[in-house]
Structure 1
Amino acid sequence: MPKVIAVLGVGPGLGLSIARRFGREGFTTALVSRTDARHATYRTALAGITAPTYTADVTDDAQLRAVLARITAEAGEIDTVYFGPADAGTGITPLTEAGADALRVPFESIVLPAARLVEAVLPRMLERGSGSLLFAGGLSGKYPMPMLGSLAPASAALRMYVLTLHAALRETGVHAGMLTIGGLIERGDIHRMFTEQDHGFTVGTLDPDAIADKAWSQYVERDEAEAEFNAMAAV
């Protein structure tokens, strides 16, 4: 039976590239997003790959657990999960102006859902002695980037959570890996929105297929905690 990867927060950029890369290796790629508006387009883009689609808000614990249960029942036991953090929803507040609430929202939409995902899938992975947990996060979690203000603490927390998880799982057969990304991911929604407007400055772009290739290498080699992709000239 094919292995299953659950791609949580799939979009036309990195999420779709992750699905395509693992699908090329024979994985069933279960795609999860908040709406089904683009699911038909995703399935067409993944022609030849088994790619069932699901609708769920993965920042909601009940919906997250329900969709993971559906994937397991319909596609098979989940071998790998990829988590692309959700939009924090409230924009960016400069840290010099941010109160506790401005910092709390990104934690609730990025860090806590990642921990709930691990809570849901890790016990079975540990029982099997196999599995992989892959996460995408921002470069502001590694380097001070004042322009990302209130998002930076949550990015740093997610990064350290995954790196520590990687170390804790080292002898278990389960792998945790971080994709630390600085730049606009080509074909992604943020890239489209950014290029449609003149922001007065330039941000470098990244090829989602190259990032997905690295994610596959992390999965296969299982010894690398973090891969950095930096197209930010100032960092």
Structure 2
Amino acid sequence: MPKVLAVLGVGPGLGLSIARRFGGEGFTTALVSRTDARHADYRASLAGINALTYTADVTDEAQLRDVLVRITADAGQIDTVYFGPADATAGPGITPLTEAAAGTLRASFDSLVLPAARLVGTVLPVMLERGSGSLLFAGGLSGKYPMPMLGSLAPASAALRMYVLTLHAALREKGVHAGLLTIGGLVERGDIHRVFTAQDHGFPVGTLDPDDIADRAWSLYTERDAEAEFTAMAAV
């Protein structure tokens, strides 16, 4: 029976490229997004891959649990989860760190770190019982290097990074893998790329090819490494 990849927070950029990369290796891919407006296009672009689509807000705990149950019923036990719904266009947005009150920082944690923790709490017990599985997350380069232009997002990004890296260390002897894609730049074809290129944000950001990142995501999965870093920034 084919292994199952759940792509939670799929978009036309990285999420779709990861589905294509893993699907090319024989995985059944389950794509989850907030609306079904682009689902037909996603399935068409994954010709030759068994691609299922679902509608859910994966930052909502009840909807997350429900969609994972549906995926398991339709395709079988989930081997790998890619979680990438959080972005700079969602949640509280960016506030300069020198102006960010405690509530603003908490809102960033609520939108970045808590959904990841809820996912882990939902899928990890089954993976541990089975003794296999992989948890892949997308994070930002501001979680590793000081980047003042990302302001209030940076502390939450750092917390997400350390959460995943600590999970990796805690799980590596238990057959379950946790890994992080640390991304510094705009991922081409993605929604964030579209938003940023349509507006003047006052600082230059380079672009990254989502297919290249997806190739590294596959290597992260097969080699069971903790982190892969990508940067198109001039300096960090």
- Per the TM superposition, whether the score is higher than 0.5 is yes
Q: Which residue of 1 aligns with 2:37?
A: 37
Q: Give yes or no for contact 1:85–1:109 (8 Å, CA) kept in 2.
A: no
Cα offsets for 1:18-69 (capped at 9, x unmatched): 0000000000110001111111111111111111101111111000000000
Question: So what's the TM-score if we normalise by structure 1?
Answer: 0.97
SS of the aligned residue for 1:7 comes to strand
In the alignment, structure 1 residue 80 sits paired with structure 2 residue 65: no
In the alignment, structure 1 residue 232 sits paired with structure 2 residue 229: no
Q: What is the identity, as a one-letter code, of the residue corresponding to 1:28?
A: T
Q: Which residue of 2 aligns with 1:153?
A: 155
Distance 2:28 2:18 in 1: 12
Q: Which residue of 2 aligns with 1:133?
A: 135
Distance 1:102 1:199 in 2: 20
Ranges in structure 1 where 5+ consecutive residues have no aligned partner: none
Q: Which residue of 2 aligns with 1:101?
A: 103
Distance 2:193 2:72 in 1: 33
In the alignment, structure 1 residue 181 sits paired with structure 2 residue 183: yes
Cα-Cα RMSD: 1.1
Residues 7-86 of structure 1 aligned to structure 2 (within 5 Å): 7-86=7-86
Cα offsets for 1:142-187 (capped at 9, x unmatched): 0011111111111001000000000001111111000000001011
Q: What is the identity, as a one-letter code, of the residue corresponding to 1:197?
A: Q
SS of the aligned residue for 1:52 comes to strand
Of 190-199 and 131-140, more deviation after overlay is shown by: 190-199
Question: So what's the TM-score if we normalise by structure 2?
Answer: 0.96
- Note closer, same or farther for the CA distance 1:157–1:200 as it changes in structure 2 (3 Å cut): closer
- Note closer, same or farther for the CA distance 1:200–1:59 as it changes in structure 2 (3 Å cut): closer
Distance 2:138 2:202 in 1: 27
Q: Which residue of 2 aligns with 1:195?
A: 197
Q: Give yes or no for contact 2:58–2:85 (8 Å, CA) kept in 1.
A: no
SS of the aligned residue for 1:82 comes to strand
Q: What is the identity, as a one-letter code, of the residue corresponding to 1:41?
A: D
Cα offsets for 1:108-150 (capped at 9, x unmatched): 1111110111111111111111100000000000001111111
Cα offsets for 1:188-228 (capped at 9, x unmatched): 11112222334454311101011100110111111x10110
Q: What is the identity, as a one-letter code, of the residue corresponding to 1:206?
A: L
Distance 1:78 1:71 in 2: 8
Q: Which residue of 2 aligns with 1:167?
A: 169
Ranges in structure 2 where 5+ consecutive residues have no aligned partner: none
Per the TM alignment, residue 107 of structure 1 is displaced from its structure 2 partner at its CA by 1.2
Q: Give yes or no for contact 2:13–2:189 (8 Å, CA) kept in 1.
A: yes
Identity between Structure 1 and Structure 2 (%): 85
4+ long deviations beyond 3 Å: 197-201
- Note closer, same or farther for the CA distance 1:4–1:50 as it changes in structure 2 (3 Å cut): same
Per the TM alignment, residue 103 of structure 1 is displaced from its structure 2 partner at its CA by 0.8
